Amino acid sequence: MLIPVLAVLVPTLPLAGWALNGLWGGRFTRRTVAIVACGAVAAAFAAAALLLWQIRLAPPPGRASAGGPSWIVDLYAWIGAGSIQVPLRLLVDPLSVAMALVVGGVGLLIHVYSVGYMDGDPGFARYFAYLNLFMASMFWLVLAGNLAAMFIGWEGVGLCSYLLIAFWFTRPAAAAAGVKAFLVTRLGDVGFLLGIFVAFGVFGTTDFGVMTRDAGARLALGGGAATALALLFSARRPPWISSRPWGRSPRSSPPPPPSSNPTSSGCSPTRRSASSGTCSSRSGWGRSPPGSSI
């Protein structure tokens, strides 16, 4: 059956793109970098589409969740302590595959747009390596089969958000925005971890299938456990809610080349970022990389 193979390929393909551009992107041409990055996401999207087709054709598994048929893909016996077993698990069901298609479709459009948008930037390969890692983390997040595996995806998304927000880290404002985003996500992760512990205490597991099945019996509507879980998991906010990405914005004009003086033409940085092209050049003054606002 192709379902386990396809489920693993969906997050692995952009992860391979991250490794290629991250390790050898400096030796690649810009065209090669773009082909590797966009091709990895396009292949992952195609794998997700094929996965949807496979689960429509495959006979229903012996175990079905409340949301329909589901397939469990155990990759590794991750945490084992006595009776506590937490595998590194993927969950394939109509909802998770639909979310993977949304992530892949939107992510592919962002990649294609970024090829032209980031053209001329010296960090072209580094940017696409970050964006591929972001996509791998998002795919892992939506396909995770338990809260522990989902936490890995959350951390990957938080890391990439920091890297993209602080992409131009040599500029003090960008570096400060990145640090702020990093600190906010770390505080939110405390709530996420506490939510995992509370869920394990209530259900005895972090598996989504078991939690979905037993939620009606173990969680009283408006009860303390249900309220605590809702509050703790909602504490994990994306960093762009609390910190607007510093850098590019599509409405602002590009920055001058590094060798030129931004005020030599009589246009201050403030006026430049608000103008509609009076002092334009190639790459953007006050614009943020497209992936930083995903």
Q: Encode pLDDT of 25-39 as tens digits.
A: 999 999 999 999 999
Nearest alpha carbon to residue 92 among 83, 84, 101: 101
Rg (CA), the chain: 22
Domain count, the chain: 1
The reported pTM is: 0.77
Please report whether residue 222 resides in a domain.
no
pLDDT band at residue 18 under the 50/70/90 scheme: very high
Cα–Cα dist 284/217, whole Å: 55
Indicate whether 286 pLDDT > 50: no
* Residue 282 scores a pLDDT above 70: no
**Of 84-98, 155-169, 181-195, minimum mean pLDDT range:** 181-195
**Is position 64 within any domain?**
yes
Asked whether the beta carbons of 128 and 111 are under 8 A apart, the reply is yes
Confidence (pLDDT) at 86: 87
Which pLDDT score is estimated for 30?
Answer: 94
Query: Is 252 a domain residue?
Result: no
The verdict on residue 6 lying in a domain is yes
For residue 254, pLDDT over 50 is answered with no
* pLDDT of residue 292 exceeding 50: yes
Per-residue pLDDT averaged across 198-212, rounded? 86
- Give the whole-angstrom CA distance, residue 293 versus residue 163: 12
Residue 58 domain-assigned?
A: yes
- Asked whether residue 74 is assigned to any structural domain, the reply reads yes
Answer yes or no: is pLDDT of 291 > 60. Answer: no
Please determine, for residue 173, whether its predicted confidence score (pLDDT) is greater than 70: yes
129 lies in a domain? yes
Cα 192 from chain centroid (whole Å): 16
Residue 191, pLDDT score: 83
> What is the pairing mode between strands 71-81 and 68-69?
unpaired
Give residue 289's Cα distance to chain centre: 15
Confidence check: pLDDT of 115 > 90: yes
pLDDT of residue 245: 47
Using one digit for the tens of pLDDT, what is the confidence trace for 50-64?
999 998 887 766 554
For residue 68, CA distances in Å to 7, 49, 60, 101, 149 come to 17, 18, 9, 18, 21
Start-to-end C-alpha separation, the chain: 34
pLDDT at 60: 65
pLDDT of 47: 96
- Cα–Cα separations (whole angstroms), residue 284 to 4, 67, 108, 161, 252: 43, 46, 22, 19, 7
- Residue 264 in this model has a pLDDT that exceeds 60: no
Mean pLDDT, residues 254-261: 43
Domain containing residue 29: 1-145
The least confident of 1-5, 241-245, 275-279 is 275-279
Is there a contact between 191 and 236 (Cβ–Cβ < 8 Å)? yes
pLDDT for res 283? 41
- Flag whether pLDDT at 219 surpasses 90: no
